[in-house]
């Protein structure tokens, strides 16, 4: 992983907060990005404990110099909460549903990039 990172490949730790992820990995692995598991993101607007977890992960990642991706963003309320929390990147149905590769150029031509004001 160190060789990949040093050659310019961005390394992300996916599904952070679930399964076998560990805080120890954040200090040892050559990561550039941390992806918050959708379990916490999906209901963070309605579940204060999940909102606290998401906010804490974002703060921790930023303190370690990592970018943060939120998985499973499906509505504008969650998008807004993530923007307010300082999340760097989102992925989910709020942007687009899965589509065949042939449809992507047309979709991109019709949509402007979404950039969080920071």
Contact between 3 and 29 under an 8 Å Cβ cutoff? The reply is no
pLDDT at 75 over 70: yes
Within 8 A by CB and 6+ apart from 86, the residues are: 58, 59, 62, 68, 116, 118
Q: 54: how many CB neighbours lie within 10 A of its CB?
A: 24
Q: Which value, to the nearest 10 degrees, does the dihedral of the CA atoms of residues 42, 82, 36, 59 take?
A: -140
For residue 12, list its beta bridge partners: 33
Task: Judge if pTM exceeds 0.85.
Answer: no
Q: For residue 41, which of 102, 83, 101 has the smallest C-alpha distance?
A: 83
Give the start-to-end residue ranges of the domains of the chain: 2-110
Q: What is the pLDDT of residue 118?
A: 46
Is the Cα torsion angle 20, 21, 23, 29 positive or negative in sign? positive
User: Does the domain spanning 2-110 belong to CATH 3.40.30.10?
Assistant: no
Say which residue, 85 or 10, is predicted with more confidence: 85
Q: For residue 1, which of 36, 40, 28 has the smallest C-alpha distance?
A: 28
pLDDT single digits (tens) 9-26: 877 766 666 555 567 777
């Amino acid at each position: 992983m160190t060789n990949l990172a040093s050659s310019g490949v961005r390394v992300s730790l996916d599904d952070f907060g679930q399964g076998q992820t560990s805080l120890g990995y954040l200090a040892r692995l050559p990561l550039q990005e941390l992806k918050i598991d959708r379990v916490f993101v999906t209901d963070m607007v309605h579940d204060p404990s999940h909102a606290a977890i998401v906010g804490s992960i974002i703060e921790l990642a930023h303190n370690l110099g990592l970018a943060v991706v939120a998985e499973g963003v499906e509505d504008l309320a969650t998008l807004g909460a993530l923007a307010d929390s300082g999340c760097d990147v989102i992925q989910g149905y709020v942007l687009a549903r899965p589509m065949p590769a042939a449809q992507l150029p047309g979709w991109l031509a019709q949509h402007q990039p979404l950039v969080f004001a920071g």
